[in-house]
């Protein structure tokens, strides 16, 4: 049907428009914030007040385009940002894109393993406890609530002092190898797992009360198969609406986790960038965060279609 | 945990699965956290009731002592009594938490109402702004505000408050859109009341109703974010006895004196959990009262 494919294309273009609007908005907010930062960027560049004389100052100012009027700086910044060019970091004297690329590895490892652990934990707990006896349900949801309100750094510090200092099972700080990844990944995963379990269990319990569950049971399908094959699909739909919050707590959590465990990564360069008022780097990091958010949301929308066939029919 | 996350969990309305107690107020799930909140209130009001030690008194004979009968929570690297530092730090931590929540609620009500009631192009723009702000982790927004304003207790309060406006704004916007359709608003319009009178006297008070409980939970979340900022070295700076600052300081001695970071962090955790539990309990009780 040509009409429906045109609709699909139109919907796709609309999505793309929203993506650009979000990125552009994020870039603008970050630019305004950075321009509001008091202090002279040249003194950040040169590593302190009064280190450079007027001539050097002029060179630096020109080199970083700081002599241009604000709207020129803004236009240049937005256009360059579109091509992934955020300029050179004041602090590290390296292209921002390069810095971010280098720092992204350890953070991706940390966030990826944390999300993996969280998924495994929450899936198994939700599948095992949904619709079971009240005692278990109350105990599990109590633990979830406590984990949700517990600071990530508290979990990190407890793990660190018990397993690294007391038992000496794991290295204390750093990025070296797999064993240095375990504790931070667990610390970051527990609050995520708590939130996910709550939603998954609610979704499962709701699905198990639906008429279709009765039909499936009547066909003689076992309880486990019912939960895995039918209930989980409905629960997953409910859980995928939470992706935004999950993403935010993973990214925010990594800043804290990296600090507790002394790991390098995106969180660490974010802190450095803000402490030293390294504007290009701050802008690049803000854009990175917005970009990841947008991409994840697009993926989730695609995932919806995969999970729920009804949506496929209405979209086509 | 971010406040958006809290809204999501709270708004899904996980009412307790029909506890059939005759006196719902006596449930241990309410009494324990309520007791903790009362203790917190007293720690703000009368910190000297809890401890004989001066929180800033340096004692070079008692450096990094483990918890004991004299120093309940041990001492820090200057021999200061950790328990009294935490007790005296309560007021600063809670002030930041409450102040930030007030700012977030105010900002949220204004932004959310504007996003719901403005003429179309403006309301769409505001909705986009809310969406974009929600795209960032709160801690990142708070860090940006700190980068602009600098560190310190007041700036921490502002940073935490401003960074959580968007979550409240989203809630208020959808509330306002609902309230706008209600009979009493229609009635007021029919009576020819001035639009601003309708907004201020009818729409906002009714739309802001669910804020009472959410803001209580928000105080816990704000205390958490503020302590995280201080822990990162970008909030309240030592020697202030704010909880996050104590924690950040303790992190330096975690290998030889783990209590200097563990105990302040535990106090933050217990306070936030208690505040959240009390608010949630109240929510279920109120919901049952309405029904």
A260/B224 CB distance under 8 A:
no
pLDDT in the model for residue B27 = 64
Q: Which of A69-73, A134-138, B11-15, B69-73 is the least confident region?
A: B11-15
Q: What value does the mean pLDDT take over residues B97-121?
A: 92
Question: What's the whole-number average pLDDT of chain B?
Answer: 81
A30-35 contacts: CB < 8 A, separation 24 or more?
A: A30/A282, A30/A283, A30/A286, A30/A287, A30/B144, A31/A74, A31/A77, A31/A78, A31/A283, A33/A282, A33/B144, A33/B145, A33/B147, A33/B148, A34/A279, A34/A282, A34/A283, A34/B147, A35/A70
Report which of residues A49 and A154 the model is more confident about: A154
* A179-209 helix and A211-218 helix, angle to the nearest 10 degrees: 90
Mean pLDDT of B148-157: 86
B 108-137 near A (Cβ less than 8 A): 128-129, 131-137
Residue A275: count other Cβ atoms within 10 Å of its Cβ: 16
Q: What percentage of chain A exceeds 70 in pLDDT?
A: 85
A167 in contact with chain B, both atoms CB, cutoff 8 A: no
Q: Residue B110: what pLDDT? A: 94
* Alpha-carbon distance A8 to nearest alpha carbon in chain B (angstroms): 23
Min distance B5 CA to chain A CA atoms (Å)? 6
How does pLDDT run across A128-155, given as a tens digit for each residue? 877 777 777 777 777 887 787 778 888 8
The stretches of B82-210 forming alpha helices (DSSP H) are: 82-117, 120-134, 138-149, 153-163, 165-180, 183-190, 195-197, 204-207
Over residues A71-124, the pLDDT tens digits come to 888 888 788 877 777 777 877 878 888 888 888 888 888 888 998 999 899 888
User: What pLDDT score does B17 carry?
Assistant: 39
Q: Which domains does chain B have, with CATH numbers?
A: 92-290 (1.10.3720.10)
Confidence grade of residue B14 (pLDDT, cut at 50, 70, 90):
very low
Of A21, A157, A271, the CB nearest to B232: A271
Which candidate from B2, B232, B261 shows the least CB-CB separation from A248?
B2
Question: What whole-number distance in Å separates Cα of residue B72 and Cα of residue A190?
Answer: 30
- Does B187 contact A at CB distance below 8 Å? no
Residue A291 pLDDT > 50, yes or no?
yes
| Residue from A248, A271, A285, A286 to probe the interface with B (highest B Cβ count within 10 Å) | A248
Residue B97's CB is within 10 A of a number of other CB atoms, namely 27
Question: Cβ contacts (< 8 Å) between A154 and chain B: which residues?
Answer: 265-266, 268-269
Q: Which of B135, B224, B258 sits opposite A293 (nearest CB)?
A: B135
> Taking CB atoms and an 8 Å cutoff, what residues of chain B touch A37?
147-148
Q: Is the pLDDT of residue B138 over 90?
A: no
B19 pLDDT band, cuts 50/70/90, is: very low
For residue A44, is pLDDT > 80? no
- Nearest-neighbour CA in chain A from B201: distance (Å): 33
C-beta atoms of B135 and A26 within 8 A: yes
CA angle, corner B276, sides to B231 and B143, nearest 5? 30
Question: Of B268 and B75, which is predicted with more confidence?
Answer: B268
Q: Residues near A146 by Cβ (< 8 Å), separated by ≥ 6?
A: B273
Residue that the structure tokens 């080199």 belong to: A63
A38 pLDDT band, cuts 50/70/90, is low
- Nearest of B125, B256, B148 to residue A36 by alpha carbon: B148
A258 to A144, A147, A237, B131: CA distances (angstroms): 23, 19, 31, 28
Q: At B176, list the tokens.
A: 């306002």
CA distance linking residue A72 with residue A80, whole number of Å = 12
Q: Scanning every residue of chain A, which has its alpha carbon at the shortest distance from the alpha carbon of B143?
A: A274
Phi, psi of A88 (to 5 degrees): -110, 135
Average pLDDT of chain A?
Answer: 78
Closest by CA to B265, choosing from B277, B254, B281, B280, is: B254
Reported confidence tier of residue A4, pLDDT bands at 50, 70, 90: low
Q: What is the DSSP letter of A95?
A: B
B141 to chain A, closest Cα gap in Å: 9
Instruction: Answer whether A37 touches B (CB < 8 Å).
Output: yes
Question: CB A251 to CB B140 under 8 A?
Answer: yes
Q: Are B171 and B233 in contact (CB under 8 A)?
A: no
**Residue B16 confidence (pLDDT):** 40
Q: How far is residue B34's CA from residue A218's CA, in Å, rounded to a whole number?
A: 47
Range with top average pLDDT, A26-30, B146-150, B228-232: B228-232
List, in sequence order, every residue forming a beta bridge with A88; answer none if it has no partner: A95
CB atoms within 10 A of CB A109: 17
Nearest residue to B64 (alpha-carbon basis) of B258, B283, B216, B240: B258
3-state helix, strand, coil in chain A (%, to 5): 80, 0, 20
pLDDT of residue B172: 92
Cα three-residue angle B64-A160-A249, rounded to 5 degrees: 120
Report how many Cβ contacts below 8 Å link chain A to chain B.
Answer: 153
* Residue A154 sits at the chain B interface (C-beta within 8 Å): yes
- State chain B's maximal CA–CA distance in angstroms: 77
Q: Return the pLDDT at B24.
A: 56
Q: Which residues pair with B81 in a beta bridge?
A: B75
Average pLDDT over residues B197-206: 87
Minimal CA separation from B246 to chain A, in Å: 13
**Residue in the block written with tokens 């695609």:** A302
Q: Which residue of A has its CA nearest to B253?
A: A161
Give A49's contacts (C-beta < 8 A, 6+ positions apart): A40, A43
The more confident residue out of A65 and B202 is B202
Closest residue of A to B167, CA-based? A245
CA-CA-CA-CA torsion sign (B238, B241, B243, B249): positive
Which residues in chain A have their CB less than 8 angstroms from residue B147's CB? 33-34, 37, 274, 277, 282
Contact B144 A252 (CB under 8 A): no
What's the Cα-to-Cα distance from B165 to each of A236, A290, B99, rounded to whole Å? Answer: 29, 18, 13
Q: What tens digit of pLDDT does each residue of A211-223 get?
A: 887 788 778 777 7
A91 touches chain B (CB under 8 A): no
Of the partner residues B133, B269, B276, the one whose CB lies closest to the CB of residue A154: B269
User: What is the DSSP track for A22-70?
Assistant: HHHHHHHHHHHHHHHS-S-HHHHHTTSTTSS-HHHHHHHHHHTTTTS-H
- Reply yes or no on whether the pLDDT at B3 is more than 70: no
pTM of the model: 0.80
Query: Using alpha carbons only, how large is chain B's radius of gyration in Å?
Result: 22
């Amino acid at each position: 049907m040509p009409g429906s494919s045109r609709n699909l294309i139109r919907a796709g273009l609309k999505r793309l428009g929203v993506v650009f609007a979000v990125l552009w908005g994020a870039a603008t907010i970050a630019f305004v914030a950075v321009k509001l930062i008091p202090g002279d960027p040249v003194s950040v560049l040169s590593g302190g007040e009064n280190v450079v004389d007027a001539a050097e100052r002029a060179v630096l100012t020109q080199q970083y385009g700081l002599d241009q009027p604000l709207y020129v700086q803004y236009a240049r910044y937005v256009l360059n940002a579109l091509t992934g060019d955020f300029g050179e970091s004041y602090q590290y004297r390296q292209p921002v894109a390069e810095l971010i690329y280098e720092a992204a590895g350890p953070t991706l490892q940390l966030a990826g393993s944390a999300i993996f652990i969280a998924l495994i934990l929450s899936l198994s707990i939700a599948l095992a406890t949904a619709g079971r006896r009240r005692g278990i349900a109350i105990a599990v949801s109590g633990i979830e609530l406590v984990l949700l309100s517990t600071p990530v750094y508290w979990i990190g510090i407890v793990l660190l002092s018990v397993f690294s200092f007391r038992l000496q099972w794991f290295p204390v700080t750093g990025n070296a190898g797999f064993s240095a990844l375990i504790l931070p990944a667990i610390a970051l995963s527990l609050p995520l797992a708590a939130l996910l379990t709550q939603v998954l269990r609610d979704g499962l319990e709701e699905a198990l009360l639906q008429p279709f569950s009765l039909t499936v049971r009547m066909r003689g399908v076992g309880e486990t198969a019912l939960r895995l094959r039918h209930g989980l699909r409905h629960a997953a739909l409910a859980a995928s609406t939470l992706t935004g919050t999950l993403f935010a707590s993973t990214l925010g959590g990594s800043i804290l986790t990296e600090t507790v465990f002394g790991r390098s990564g995106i969180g660490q360069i974010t802190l450095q960038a803000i402490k030293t008022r390294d504007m290009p780097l701050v802008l690049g990091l803000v854009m990175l965060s917005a970009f990841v958010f947008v991409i994840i949301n697009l993926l989730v929308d695609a995932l919806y279609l995969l999970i729920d066939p009804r949506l496929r029919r209405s979209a086509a | 945990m971010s406040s958006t996350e809290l809204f999501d969990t709270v708004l899904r309305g996980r009412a307790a699965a029909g506890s059939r107690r005759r006196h719902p107020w006596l449930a241990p799930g309410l009494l324990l956290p309520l007791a903790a909140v009362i203790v917190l209130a007293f720690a703000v009001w009368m910190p000297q009731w809890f401890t004989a030690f001066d929180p800033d008194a340096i004692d070079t004979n008692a450096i990094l002592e483990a918890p004991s009968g004299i120093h309940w929570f041990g001492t820090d690297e200057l021999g200061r009594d950790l328990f009294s530092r935490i007790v005296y730090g309560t007021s600063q931590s809670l002030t930041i938490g409450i102040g930030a929540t007030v700012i977030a609620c105010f900002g949220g009500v204004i932004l959310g109402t504007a996003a719901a009631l403005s003429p179309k192009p403006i309301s769409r723009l505001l909705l986009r702004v809310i969406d974009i702000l929600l795209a960032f982790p709160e801690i990142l927004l708070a860090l940006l505000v700190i980068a602009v304003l600098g560190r310190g207790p007041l700036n921490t309060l502002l940073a935490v408050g401003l960074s959580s406006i968007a979550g409240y704004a989203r809630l208020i916007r959808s509330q306002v859109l609902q309230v706008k359709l209600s009979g009493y608003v229609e009635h007021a319009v029919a009576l020819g009341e001035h639009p601003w009178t309708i907004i201020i006297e009818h729409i906002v008070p009714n739309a802001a109703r669910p804020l009472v409980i959410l803001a209580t939970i928000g105080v816990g979340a704000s205390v958490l974010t503020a302590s995280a900022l201080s822990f990162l070295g970008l909030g309240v700076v030592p020697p202030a006895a704010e909880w996050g600052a104590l924690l950040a300081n303790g992190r330096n001695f975690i290998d030889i004196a783990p209590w200097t970071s563990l105990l302040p962090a535990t106090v933050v955790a217990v306070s936030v959990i208690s505040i959240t539990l009390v608010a949630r309990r109240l929510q279920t009780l109120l919901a049952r009262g309405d029904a």
